[in-house]
Amino acid sequence: MTSADLSAVRSPAESISVRRARTSDVPWIQRLVEPLVQERILLGKDSVVFYEAVQEFRIAVDANGTPVGCGALHVFWEDLGEVRTLAVDRAWLGKGVGRLLLDSIETDARELGLSRLFCLTFEVAFFERNGFVASPLALVAPEVYAELVRSPDEGVAEFLDLARVKPNTLGNTRMLKHL
């Protein structure tokens, strides 16, 4: 097979790179996730929440530097982090972009010293293919729960399964991966 033949069979994900998010990415992230918010797949967030968390985000870009996906790592506790807002432009679904973003998030988690990642998701098959398993509610010890319950973060409230966020979490699956 010649190099021309190899380039013809190269997967679209090979032209994708993942970088840290910039503040200038926030409007794009919001446009990407808005349809998913409308479908109640992701939680809606105000602009300020995205700007406050921009350092948690990674952006997948194509060969031209155009964003095609995003994902975030939110640290919960000394050993536990959450995969948040993992979303891929519909034109790029099924082309490996989500996997590249998840790889980047897992690398970040390991570098921070985390040993477990969880997500709340409707995309169970994707996360299963990537080593996550459905998990019971008790991912933290009672004393950690008591600390976390004081957090104002909506994602923490979802994780703890608090009644005030029940409408946002109905039907999703809590999944866990040991790194």
User: Which pLDDT score, from 0 to 100, does residue 84 have?
Assistant: 95
pLDDT tens across the length of the chain (179 residues):
333 333 334 456 679 999 999 999 999 999 999 999 999 888 888 999 999 999 999 999 999 999 999 999 999 889 999 999 999 999 999 999 999 999 999 999 999 999 999 998 999 999 999 999 998 666 666 676 667 666 767 666 666 665 555 555 557 888 899 99
**Interior CA angle at 87 toward 147 and 25, to 5°?**
90
User: Which pLDDT score, from 0 to 100, does residue 171 have?
Assistant: 73
User: Which pLDDT score, from 0 to 100, does residue 14 have?
Assistant: 76
Task: Using CA atoms of 153, 155, 156, 162 in order, give the dihedral in degrees to the nearest 10.
Answer: 110
- Its sign, for the CA torsion 60, 62, 66, 69, is negative
List, in order, residues 6 or more apart from 96 with CB less than 8 Å away.
11, 12, 13, 16
Question: Does the global pTM surpass 0.85?
Answer: no
User: Which pLDDT score, from 0 to 100, does residue 155 have?
Assistant: 66
- Report the half-sphere exposure of 157 (CA within 13 A, side-chain side): 14
